[in-house]
Amino acid sequence: MKKVITFGEIMLRLTPPGHRRFSQASQFDVVYGGGESNVAVSLANYGLSTEFVSCLPANDIGDCALMALQKYGVGTQYIAREGERLGIYFLEIGAVSRGSKVVYDRAHSAISTMKPGTIDWDEVFQDAQWFHWTGITPAISQSAADCCLEAIEAANRLGITVSTDLNYRKNLWKYGKEPSEIMPALVAGCDVILGNEEDAEKHFDIHPEGVDVTKGDTVDAQAYISVGQQLMKRFPRAKKVIVTLRGSISASHNTWTGVLYNGRELLHAPTYQITHIVDRVGGGDSFMGGLIYGLINWPENDQRALNFAVAASCLKHTIYGDANLATVDEVKKLMDGDASGRVSR
C-alpha cells in the first residue's frame, strides 16, 4: 500500500480538566497533537500507511511525542531529532456561551529552526501516493516555510498528489512576512485545497461573492462556487477546492457541513447538528483525514468522499483530544443515517 506523508509540527497540549478556566487549574491533562499529525493519526486509524515528518528535540518530551504517534500506527522514521524544545499550547475548553481559548508557547520550537536539506524528500516519498501540509507550518518561521516549499516541489517532481488545509492562524504570523508573501508559492503546487469560510479571504483576499462572513452574513453554500472558481483560476494545478462550513450556535452546539467544487459542479454534504460538543479542536484536521481517505478510496465519487469527511469530522467532536479516533465503520454508520449513539454490544 502506498503511503500518505504529512509534514508539520506536533505539540504538547495542556488542558485544565473538565471545563475549568486557566485560573482554576491546579493540574493539566496532557495530549500531543498538531494539524498534520492529527491527519496522520486519522488515516492510520482508517488503515492507511502513513508517515509523519517533523523535527523534535532529542529529549524525553520529544520521545513522548514520538510514542504518542507510534501507538496509533503512524510512521516516525523520518522525524529529525534536533532543536531545543517541543512547542506547547494551552487549551481552555469553552462551554455554552463561553468560547474556547488557546495560548501558544511555541517560540523557538524545534521545527521553527529546521533548515532545508534536513529531510531527504526523495527518500521520504518513495512508495508515497499523497503529501499533505497546512498553512500552520509556513506561519511558524521562514525556515519552516522554506522546508515546506522544498517538500512540495519534491512531491510535484515525483507526481505525488499534494493537499493543503489553508488553516489561517493570525497569532502565528510573527516573523515579518504576511501570508500573501509566502502562501501563493506553496499553494501553487497543490492539487486539493481545503479551507474554512475565511481562510481564502485571509490568505488571498478571495471571498464568496455577496457574502462577508466577518459581518456575520448568513452563508449560502452556493456562494462558494465563486471561491472555488477564483482559487482554481489563481492556482491552475488545483483540481478540487473544499470549504468547511461551521455554524456556531454556542461553544457546545455547532452545525457542520462542507462543500466541494471540482471545476464542474459544487457538491454539498449533509448538515449535522453537533450538540454537547466534547472537543472541537482538530475538527478541520479530522475533516481532512476523512477527505483524503475518501478521495483515495472513491476517486470517481467526490460526493461520497465529501460525505465521509463531514461525517468523520462530526464524530471527532465527540472525542477528547486533538485526533479523531473514530473507525471507518463508525463513520459509514453515521453516513448511512444512524446517529442514535446506541450501545454496541
Reading the block at residue 243, the C-alpha cell is 470549504
Q: What percent of the chain has pLDDT over 70?
A: 95
Q: How many CB atoms lie within 10 A of CB 168?
A: 20
- The 10s digit of each residue's pLDDT in 45-79 is 999 999 999 999 999 999 999 999 999 999 999 99
Residue 206 pLDDT grade (very low, low, confident, very high; cuts 50, 70, 90): confident
pLDDT at 198: 85
Rounded CA separation 128/206 (Å): 32
Rounded CA separation 57/53 (Å): 13
Beta bridge partners of 165: 134, 194
Burial class (CB in 10 A: 0-12, 13-18, 19+), 328: middle
What mean pLDDT comes out for the span 252-268? 94
Q: Which of 56-65, 230-239, 332-341 has the lowest mean pLDDT?
A: 332-341
pLDDT at 214: 47
Residues 289 and 328: beta-carbon distance below 8 Å: no
Contacts of 137 by beta carbon, 8 Å cutoff, 6+ apart: 7, 8, 9, 35, 36, 111, 144, 145, 147, 148
Please state the pTM of the whole predicted model. 0.94
Which domains can be identified in the chain, with CATH numbers? 3-335 (3.40.1190.20)
pLDDT of residue 212 exceeding 80, the answer is no
- The 10s digit of each residue's pLDDT in 114-125 is 999 999 999 999
pLDDT of residue 333 exceeding 50, the answer is yes
Mean pLDDT of the chain: 93
